[in-house]
Amino acid sequence: MAPVVRTGADFDEESFQAWYGPVAGLEPQQVADLFNGSGLRWAIVGGRAARVGARQARHHEDTDVEVPAAQLDLLRRHLESWHLWQVDDGALRPLLPDDDLRPGVHQLWLRRDSGSPWALDLLLVPGDGEEWVYRRDESLRLPWSRVHHEVDGVTYARPEIALLFKAKNDRPKDRADLAVARLTEDGRTWLIERLQAEGRHEWAELAATETRWRDLRL
């Protein structure tokens, strides 16, 4: 039986690292160096994606990357020299070379070995890999080119996509990301419509505040 440890979802950052080891997310260019030429579809998501092009930066504890679940075998081959762990209902389980992914798992953590920091949080996008599928509502399917863009040689989710996920978490850092995100007018309109459809009206109002967007366009 594979070892299982609880992820300590309620731990603060210091307590988490004391139990499970340090987190040192790869920088965006390091992610590109890791995945370019692999044949994988990949993109940085989360706070790093939300703030692409923003005038204000912030510290990021980790780095989130999404890849199609349909490319899991290719991902495992490409990262065979790394250790992958499954995030399974609040527990961590090593994804050993002969293991199958446990049902319902859509998140993997990556590090070199037990003496190395956690480097990436890998999110598996549902579907056949030909389209990007929104996990919270799989009827929302978009071309990968609509969801992602390349900035300085690194592929990111577009800010409106990253912010849609952040609206559910609604932590202070998520609102801070919303406040400084640089969105196109089309991206802003799309985000507002999606937030309203999901009943996140306060976030929709924040996203629609004209003074905010006027300031950001300066």
Domains and CATH numbers, the chain: 5-159 (3.30.460)
pLDDT at 157 over 60: yes
For the chain, how far is it from start to end, CA to CA, in angstroms?
A: 57
Q: What is the pTM of this model?
A: 0.89
* Among 108, 96, 119, CA closest to 34: 119
Q: Band the pLDDT of 10: cuts 50, 70, 90.
A: low
Q: What percent of the chain has pLDDT above 90?
A: 78
Closest CA to 98 of 129, 122, 73: 73
Q: What percent of the chain has pLDDT over 70?
A: 90
Distance between CA atoms of 193 and 183, rounded to whole angstroms? Answer: 14
Judge whether residue 18 has pLDDT over 90.
no
pLDDT confidence band for 17 (50 / 70 / 90)? confident
pLDDT band at 153 (very low <50, low <70, confident <90, very high): very high
Residue 210 has pLDDT above 70, yes or no: no
pLDDT of residue 211: 45
Length of the chain: 218
Residue 26 pLDDT > 60, yes or no? yes
Query: Is 92:4 a contact under the CB 8 Å cutoff?
Result: yes
pLDDT value of position 3: 58
Separation of alpha carbons 2 and 94, rounded Å: 7
By the 8 A CB rule, do 65 and 154 touch?
no
What average pLDDT score do residues 137-155 get?
95
pLDDT for position 212 = 52
pLDDT of residue 200 exceeding 80, the answer is yes
